[in-house]
Amino acid sequence: MAPNTSSAPSRNTALFERAKKLIPGGVNSPVRAFKAVGGTPRFVQRAQGAYFWDADGKRYIDYIGSWGPMILGHGHPAVVDAVQKAVLEGFSYGAPTEREVELAEEIVKLVPSIEMLRLVSSGTEAGMSAIRLARGATGRSKIIKFEGCYHGHADALLVKAGSGLATFGNPTSAGVPPEVVQHTLVLEYNHIAQLEEAFAVHGSSTACLIIEPIAGNMNFVRASVPFMTRCRELCTQYGVLLVFDEVMTGFRVALGGAQSVYAKSIPGFKPDMTVMGKVIGGGMPLAAFGGTRAVMEQLAPLGPVYQAGTLSGNPVATACGLATLRELQKPGFYEALGERTRSLVSGLTQAATRAGVSFCGDSEGGMFGFFLLEPLPQNYATVMTTDGPTFNRFFHAMLDKGVYYAPALYEAGFVSSAHTAADIAETVEAAAQFFAGR
């Protein structure tokens, strides 16, 4: 399709108007609506490699990649081939398949803390199920989470979460009764003294501590090594299950996920449970939760904790996930991805610095974040001090130049193996023009 000319009516606008009549806010997930940054969401027509084209035929370098799953870029031939073959064999059976066993074997092989796992269809479902299992396995009710960490939209976890809730300046959703979250303790990310106090009071009645080890829903904020070390020590001391939410970071920051990154600094480090999604489905609705055998065997039909799903382990989704995981294991994959991502963050930082703009960024593997402030924030409150209006102008300037970042400053960004050095250079040049003319 030929690109729309500026005088022609925008198909994005027309589609948005049509969508708003039937779908709340015109979108099926809030952040997509551009409410925080203003303007009209781009309706995607098609995507290939590092790019997508909108309904007006304009091309964008895509740094969202479906919010993380598209680590190989769009339409990777090996993945497309696997999905096409799977589709011909049937869409869904509601019965076990060899492919879901293969996917489980692959994940267990690559993530040593996971001895058993269950496949589900979304990160929200995985997080919600992991919490129920942690409570069932420990016989305790309380859970600990951190401000700015988002673990999907299950009621008990929708307290002071980041992502879309942060965008709308509303830390907790309406419709979540106080009684439902009375057992959810929310602590400050990277605050060791507060963590120790909370464990001293509530440790023995707490089922689990759930954490995004590298938080991607308040932009990109790492848990410090000393903080993570204390999380592990206190969980062990009080019999609290340490649950890593690796929906974003799993197979994204390293082949073994963020836990393998922490294991480099904390000898023998392992969480008790892990929640995964995004990359393991390669762009199809697929997620998982897993952990030690002792905990996972509490799950029905073996144990008393109920959990189920009609589309769980879907044969097309598992084909897509398996093909994706096989590509990631090719030699040098993460080295190249990490290098490309670092080159983006350092290019943006240099461009901002040259123009005298306060800027900092960080990345791990194919996940990154940047802030229009310095130094790197360590918690949600600091992230919230970012200059929103300037970010919004930056976002739109980049969009005009064909670079698509997340339409909110509380979201991490993603680079795929399809992004080339030329894509990074084009992006950095676009940013440099904005910083220079700001």
Report 208-227 residues binding ligand HOZ (CB under 6 A).
217
CA 40 to CA 203: how far, in whole Å? 47
Burial zone of 24 (CB within 10 Å; 0-12 exposed, 13-18 middle, 19+ buried): exposed
Q: How far is the CB of 414 from ligand HOZ (least distance, A)?
A: 11
CB atoms under 10 Å from CB of 39, counted, come to: 15
Of all residues in the shown chain, the one whose CB is closest to ligand HOZ is 29
Report 408-427 residues binding ligand HOZ (CB under 6 A).
411
203 or 366: CB nearest ligand HOZ: 366
Q: 289 with 116: CB under 8 angstroms?
A: no
The count of chain residues that interact with ligand HOZ, using the rule CB under 6 A, is 7
163 or 318: CB nearest ligand HOZ: 163
Q: How far is the CB of 190 from ligand HOZ (least distance, A)?
A: 20
Residue 29 sits in the site that holds ligand HOZ (CB under 6 A): yes
Residue from 12, 163, 206, 341 in contact with ligand HOZ (CB under 6 A): 163
CA 119 to CA 130: how far, in whole Å? 12
Report 254-293 residues binding ligand HOZ (CB under 6 A).
none
64 or 104: CB nearest ligand HOZ: 64
Q: Considering the candidates 54, 56, 62, 245, report the single residue annotated as catalytic.
A: 245
125 or 411: CB nearest ligand HOZ: 411
163 or 392: CB nearest ligand HOZ: 163
Q: Considering the candidates 150, 334, 404, 410, report the single residue annotated as catalytic.
A: 150
Q: Considering the candidates 278, 334, 380, 423, report the single residue annotated as catalytic.
A: 278
217 or 318: CB nearest ligand HOZ: 217
Active site residue 21: no
Is the backbone peptide bond immediately before 375 cis, with ω within 30 degrees of 0? yes
Q: In this chain, which stretch among 25-33, 84-92, 180-188, 262-270 interacts with ligand HOZ, using CB under 6 A?
A: 25-33
Residue from 12, 15, 26, 32 in contact with ligand HOZ (CB under 6 A): 32
Residue 121 sits in the site that holds ligand HOZ (CB under 6 A): no
Residue 122 sits in the site that holds ligand HOZ (CB under 6 A): no
Residue 76 sits in the site that holds ligand HOZ (CB under 6 A): no
Residues 6 or more apart whose CB falls under 8 angstroms from that of 140 comprise 205, 206, 207
Residue 67 sits in the site that holds ligand HOZ (CB under 6 A): yes
31 or 305: CB nearest ligand HOZ: 31
Report 227-246 residues binding ligand HOZ (CB under 6 A).
none
166 or 195: CB nearest ligand HOZ: 166
Q: How far is the CB of 412 from ligand HOZ (least distance, A)?
A: 8
Q: In this chain, which stretch among 4-12, 26-34, 227-235, 430-438 interacts with ligand HOZ, using CB under 6 A?
A: 26-34
Active site residue 272: no
Active site residue 81: no
Q: How far is the CB of 89 from ligand HOZ (least distance, A)?
A: 28
Question: What is the phi/psi pair of residue 114, to 5°?
Answer: -95, 115
Q: In this chain, which stretch among 27-35, 201-209, 260-268, 376-384 interacts with ligand HOZ, using CB under 6 A?
A: 27-35
Which of 367, 366, 387, 386 minimizes the C-alpha distance to 376? Answer: 386
Q: How far is the CB of 164 from ligand HOZ (least distance, A)?
A: 6
Which of 237, 259, 266, 427 minimizes the C-alpha distance to 344? Answer: 427
CA 372 to CA 362: how far, in whole Å? 12
Q: Residue numbers of the site for ligand HOZ (CB under 6 A)?
A: 29, 31-32, 67, 163, 217, 411
Give me the active site residues, please: 150, 245, 278
